[in-house]
Structure 1
Amino acid sequence: MKKVVRIGSRESKLAVWQAEHVAHMIEQAHPEIEVQIITMKTTGDRILDRNLDQVGGKGLFVKELDIALMEKRTDLSVHSLKDMPMEVPETLPILAYSKREDPRDVILFRKGIDTVKVIGSSSRRRQVQLEKLYPDCTFTGMRGNVQTRLRKLEEGMCDATVLAMAGLKRLGMESAAGRILDPEEVIPAAGQGILAVQGRAGEDYYYLDCIMDQDGQTAALAERAFVRALDGGCSSPIAAYAQIADGQVILSGLYYNEETGSYIVGKKQGPEKEAERIGRTLAAELKERFEVRG
């Protein structure tokens, strides 16, 4: 008899792809295991007409999955790391971080559009950075999964929208990208492109050895430490992107000041074993720069 492992996933096409990707890796590396995927609709998936900060934050995307884990109806949850709250319960830790997919944001344009006047995005992180690239544009809120946003785009809700390239690549839709935004132009969300596998504390998850990627974990720790130090939730336009090379972390961060309505960016480099300290230090330095300005 094979050991059965149940993965909890949101119902969207992308979320299911991500769960199936993790399931395939586990079954390939551990043939003694059979993986089952259990999908569920989260509160965050149901509420699409309001920004997340108005209805409870990113926790709405994990609430039902967390409950299923605690009640032992599932053994694991697979998330896009960028959709996870900064504070994770000690009883439901992140057990593995995947190899990072393309972390960049991309702009998708409505067919037949020559001039972009309205960009559909509910992400303030994206809005404040895109205002410099498209100063004559206005923004309208847009939430939902990839297919929902593309439908709204083609229905004329806006002239362009912004998505993560990682999601498009995972769905085989990268050809839809109209303009790829370099991280120097638009810093990605913390954790963008990384999958997080969550489980219950104190249990044996030996089979996740095939998922864990050291560079993915290091980048995740640096980026999330930066955002956490700035108290950044889903409503705060804070961004962080870490590159790992030759044992070093090179962290780019964006800090937005609510009082002034402006933002600054900065970089910090150091040994990868000090990833979280680098994140906290860069956050403190950017806050101090604003205070000096004031």
Structure 2
Amino acid sequence: MSKIIRIGTRDSELALWQATTVQNKLETLGYDTILVPTKSMGDQVLDKPLYELGVTGIFTKTLDVALLKGDIDVAVHSMKDVPTQLPKGIVQVAVLERAVTHDILVHKGSGFLEQDQPATIATGSLRRKAQWLNKYPDHKVVDLRGNVNTRLLKLIENNWQGAIFAQAGLERIKLLPKDAIQLDWMVPAPAQGAMLVVAKQEDDFTQQALAHLNHSETEVATTIEREFLRTLEGGCTAPIGALAQIKDKKVHFKGVVFSLDGKQKIEIKKEVKLSEAKNLGKACAEEVLKNGGDKLMQEIRNENSAVH
């Protein structure tokens, strides 16, 4: 194993945790590795909401370029940040076993939820914003950008009642507050809680090395969720949630799309045998589109283009 596998990653604490996890697994298998941290455009432009930047893959493009130029051999991503269509010449080589998928509310006291008081909640996600406003239409939702550490600090510094995070991210870097509220009613982003490793298409050595890290059940579930997203033409510019769970050789799928203000909601639930799960995400998305989703997605596109 003469080749040193160069592992590209964003330079945030969470991204480095993810890349180090991949590094440790590869080195346990006997491979030599080195980490190559870099700063993504999504980490550099923090004064605008993600959807206003009008770029898909804003957290992955820098690493894609490094990979195609040959500066790194693999890139490690939070899978929910990765566009459903990978760039030409880059392939998915491993999906690691998924962590918890829930969103959580980090707050400064949860009394406002029980007493139905006015509140300001922070999130940079259209999906979280729409679902929160659907449940709490009288609340205000403000934009929150930056890595996990930065967002936690902004919550402390601002007069907000709470902010929404992915539970997995805070758990991984041991920053999950004990009183955080698990939002079990919120449908997560497609592939939330999963880590994806990509490599160059012609790099057989690296692909073979990473194949050992692939978790097949997580790969199946995230493929279904990302199919749902791709068919709806979502990306990060639409409030789309999807979760596929595999239990007793069955796939339990839930997908949802909201209007940007959270007032409209189209939901689908399906249960199929694991052996019949091929194209499940696509079929569910097509059903959503037939049931008014096509009109809703067009309204979202129109609203987004007005912003740009």
Given the two structures, how large is their TM-score scaled by the length of structure 2? 0.88
Identify the residue that residue 211 of structure 2 maps to in structure 1. Answer: 209
Report the Cα distance in structure 2 between the residues aligned to 1:181 and 1:166, rounded to whole angstroms.
13
Q: 1:217 to 1:293 in 2, by over 3 A?
A: closer
Q: Deviations over 1:183-202 (max 9, x none)?
A: xx100000000000010002
**Separation of aligned partners in 1, 2:260 and 2:193:** 27
Query: How many Å apart are 1:56 and its aligned residue?
Result: 3.0
Asked if the contact 2:126/2:260 (under 8 Å) is kept, the reply is no
Distance 1:15 1:209, change over 3 A: same
CA RMSD of aligned residues (A): 2.2
Equivalent pair of 1:249/1:271 in contact (CA under 8 Å): yes
How far apart in 2 are the matches of 1:292 and 1:100?
Answer: 31
1:227-246 aligned at under 5 Å gives the runs: 227-246=229-248
Report the 3-state secondary structure (helix = DSSP H, G, I; strand = E; otherwise coil) of the residue aligned with 1:93: strand
CA contact (8 A) 1:77 1:197 kept: yes
1:94 Cα deviation from its structure 2 partner: 1.1
| Mapped contact 1:242–1:252 kept (Cα < 8 A) | yes
Corresponding residue for 1:73? Answer: 71
Alignment deviations for residues 164-208 of structure 1 (CA, whole Å, 9 cap, x no partner)? 0110111122335520011xx100000000000010002222111
The equivalent of 2:135 in structure 1 is 133
Aligned to 1:9: 9
| Structure 1 unaligned residues grouped into runs of 5+ | none
Partner of 1:115 in structure 2?
112
How far the C-alpha of 1:2 sits from its partner, in A, is 4.3
Cα distance change on mapping 1:251 and 1:233 into 2, 3 Å: same
Gapped regions of structure 2 (runs ≥ 5):
114-118, 297-308
Identify the residue that residue 37 of structure 1 maps to in structure 2.
35
Q: Deviations over 1:224-250 (max 9, x none)?
A: 000111000211001101101222221
Following superposition, the deviation at residue 130 of structure 1 comes to 1.4
1:55–1:114 Cα change, 3 Å: same
Q: What amino acid is the match of 1:155? A: E
Retained in 2: the 8 A contact 1:225–1:277?
A: yes
Structure 1 position 82, deviation (Å): 0.4
Partner residue of 1:86 out of 63, 84, 87: 84
How far off is 1:135 after superposition?
Answer: 3.2
CA distance in 2, matches of 1:138, 1:258: 13
Q: In the alignment, what sits opposite 2:195?
A: 195
For residues 20 and 291 of structure 1, the distance between their equivalents in structure 2, rounded to whole angstroms, comes to 40
Deviation of residue 37 (structure 1)? Answer: 0.4
Cα–Cα, structure 1 residues 191 and 291, in superposed 2: closer, same or farther, change >3 Å?
closer
For the Cα contact (< 8 Å) 1:106–1:163, is it kept in 2?
Answer: yes
- Is the 8 Å Cα contact of residues 69 and 77 (structure 1) preserved in structure 2? yes
TM-score (norm 1): 0.92
Corresponding residue for residue 95 of structure 2: 97
**Contact residue 255 and residue 264 of structure 1 kept, 8 A:** yes
Pairwise CA distance, 1:271: 3.3
Post-superposition shift, 1:257? Answer: 4.8
Give, as a single letter, the amino acid of the residue that structure 2 aligns with 1:240. A
Alignment partner of 2:163 out of 161, 164, 172: 161
For residues 82 and 210 of structure 2, the distance between their equivalents in structure 1, rounded to whole angstroms, comes to 19
Which deviates more, 271-280 or 133-142?
A: 271-280
> Equivalent pairs: percent with the same residue?
34
**AA of the residue aligned to 2:75:** S
Among residues 47, 50, 53, which one is paired with 2:48 in the alignment?
Answer: 50
**2:208 & 2:295 partners in 1: Cα distance?**
50
| 2:239–2:260 CA contact under 8 A, matched in 1 | no
Distance 1:114 1:268, change over 3 A: closer
CA distance in 1, matches of 2:23, 2:56: 24
Structure 1 contact 57–233 (Cα < 8 Å) conserved: no
Distance 1:75 1:136, change over 3 A: same
Aligned to 2:282: 280
Q: In structure 2, do the counterparts of structure 1 residues 241 and 14 end up closer, same or farther at CA, with 3 Å as the change threshold? A: same
Letter in 2 for 1:94: Q
**Equivalent-residue separation in structure 2 for 1:156 and 1:260 (angstroms):** 24
Shift of the 223–291 alpha-carbon distance from structure 1 to 2, 3 Å rule, reads: closer
Which SS does the other structure have where 2:27 is aligned?
helix
Cα 1:222/1:274, change in 2 over 3 Å? farther
